[in-house]
Amino acid sequence: MLNPGGELDLDWVLSTRINLSAIERRAKSLSGRRSVKKAWQIGWLAHAVQCIDLTTLSGDDTPGTVKRLAAKARNPVRRDILEAHGLPLDLHCGAVCVYHNLIETAVEECRGSDVNVCAVSTGFPAGQIPHEMKLEQIRSSVAAGAQEIDIVISRPLVLEGRWQDLYDEVRSYREACGDQACLKTILATGELGDLRQVARASRVCLGAGADFIKTSTGKEAVNATLPVALVMLRAIREHHQRSGHLAGFKPAGGIRTAKESITFLMLVKEELGLDSMRPDRFRIGASSLLADIERQLEFHATGRYSAHHRHPMG
C-alpha cells in the first residue's frame, strides 16, 4: 500500500508543462458541469466526513482540546441525523491531525476506533530547521504512535531548482517513516511561485515515495485551490501510469464549506476515479468544514436550515 518510490527521473520532472488559463478554465467549469443532489448529496457529504483529517494546529492546543477533537472525529455527526439518512452509525473522520506533543493524547483517545492519528512534522509549517532534527522528529512521532506523518518540503529546494536535493530529502523522510507510517508531503503550494513548480515538486515527491501529496500547511497566504488540486491530481495520474502505484491527495487549508468539499471530490472522481476518492487516497485537512457538513446533513433530514450550535463541538 505504501509508495515504494523509485529513481529520480529528472526528464519527467522537468518536462512538465502547465497552462494556467486552461487549468483555471477546467477548474472553474467543473462546478457547473457536475452536481450532486438530494440522496446523492447526502451520500457524498457523508463520504467527505470520512475523508476529513480533523485538525488542530495551534500554539494553545492542550490535551483537553485534543481529547475533544478526537471524540468529535470518532462521532462526527449526530446519531439522529445518521439514523434519519440510514447512514452507518460508525461514520468517523479519517484522522485527527496534531502537533507532535499531542500525539500521545490523540492516540489514547482514538484507541479502539478506526480514526488514525496524524502528526505534522519536519519543522512544520516553515520547515526551517536542520535536516537531522526533521528526521528525528519523524522517528519520534512514529514511535509515539502516529500512523500518518505530514511533512513539509523545504521550499527553498524548489525555488532554487534543487530537484535532486528535494528528492533526497523526501526519500529520507520515506525511510524515517518506515514501512508502517503513511507519508504525506506538504508542498506548501502557495509558496512555490507557480503551478509548474507545483507540478515539478509533485513529481519529485511522488517519485521519492510520498503516499500522499498535500497542498498546504494551512498557514500560507494561499492554500488549497482547485487549480492547484488539478495539477497535483494529474501528477498522481501520471505517476500511477508510470509506476503502477496510485498515490493519495490531500487538499488542506481554506476548505470550509460542504459545497467546496464536494467540488474537490468531484474533481478527484473526474480526473482519477472512484479508487482515488476513498479515505486511503483522499483526505481533506480541515477544522471548520465538518460543522458545515453537519448542518447540511441536518437540513437534508429536516428540511430546515440548521444552526452551528445544534451540533456538538469538537
Partner 1 sequence: MSNDTSNPAQILENLDWGPAPEDQSAALEWIARSGETPSHFIGGKWIPSESGQTFPTRNPASGEVLRELASGTANDVAKAVEAAKSAQVAWQELGPEGRARHLYALARGIQKQSRLFAVVETLDNGKPIRETRDIDIPLVARHFYHHAGWAHILEESHPDAQPWGVCGQIIPWNFPLLMLAWKIAPALACGNTVVLKPAEWTSLSALLFAELCEKTGLPAGVVNIVTGAGETGAALVANPDVDKVAFTGSTEVGRIIREATAGSGKGLTLELGGKSPYILFEDADIDSAVEGLVDAIWFNQGQVCCAGSRLLVQESIAADVHARIEARMKKLRVGNPLDKAIDIGAIIDGEHLQRVEAMCERAQSEGIACIQPDLDFPAEGNWFPPTFFPEAPLSSEIATEEIFGPVLVSTTFRTPAEAIKIANHTRYGLAASVWSQDLDTALHVARKIKAGTVWVNGTNMFDASSGFGGMKESGFGREGGVEGLKAYLRNEAEVPGEPQDTPSPVKAIEESDFPDLDRTAKLWIGGKQVRADGGNSYPVLSPSGETVGLAALANRKDVRNAVEAAGKSSWAGMTGHGRAQVLWFIAENMESRKEDFVRLLMDLTGDQEETCRAEFEMAIGEWTKWASWSDKHDGHVHDTPWRGLVLAVHEPFGTAAAICPNTPKTPLISFVSMVAPLLAAGNHVVAVPSVHSLAAVEMCRVLEYSDLPAGALNLLTGNPAELAPVLAAHDAVDLICTFGKGDLSAEIERLSTGNMKVCWKMGTCIDSPLEVLDRASQIKNIWLPHGV
Catalytic amino acids? 150, 214, 250
# residues contacting partner 1 (CB under 8 A): 36
Question: φ, ψ for residue 4 (rounded to 5)?
Answer: -70, -20
Question: φ, ψ for residue 184 (rounded to 5)?
Answer: -110, 125
One residue of 8, 66, 87, 97 binding partner 1 per CB under 8 A: 87
Helix, strand, or coil (residue 247): coil
Residue that has been written with the C-alpha cell 457538513 in this structure:
293
By the rule CB under 8 A, 67 interacts with partner 1 = no
Q: Which is nearer to partner 1, 26 or 100 (CB)?
A: 26
**Which positions from 197 to 236 touch partner 1 by CB under 8 A, shown as an x/- string?**
-------------------------------------x--
Q: Which run of H or E residues covers position 132?
A: helix 131-143
Q: From CA 248, how far away is CA 273, in angstroms rounded?
A: 12
Distances (CA, A) of 138 to 100, 142, 144: 9, 6, 10
For residue 59, the 8-state DSSP code is T
Q: Which of residues 97-126 bind partner 1 (CB under 8 A)?
A: none
- DSSP secondary structure, 225-242, as one string: -HHHHHHHHHHHHHHHHH
State in angstroms the smallest separation of the CB of 206 from partner 1: 15
Helix, strand, or coil (residue 214): strand
**Which positions from 157 to 196 touch partner 1 by CB under 8 A, shown as an x/- string?**
-------------------------------------x--
State in angstroms the smallest separation of the CB of 19 from partner 1: 4
Contact footprint for partner 1 (CB under 8 A):
17-26, 29, 32-40, 42-44, 46-47, 85-88, 194, 234, 265, 269-270, 274, 277
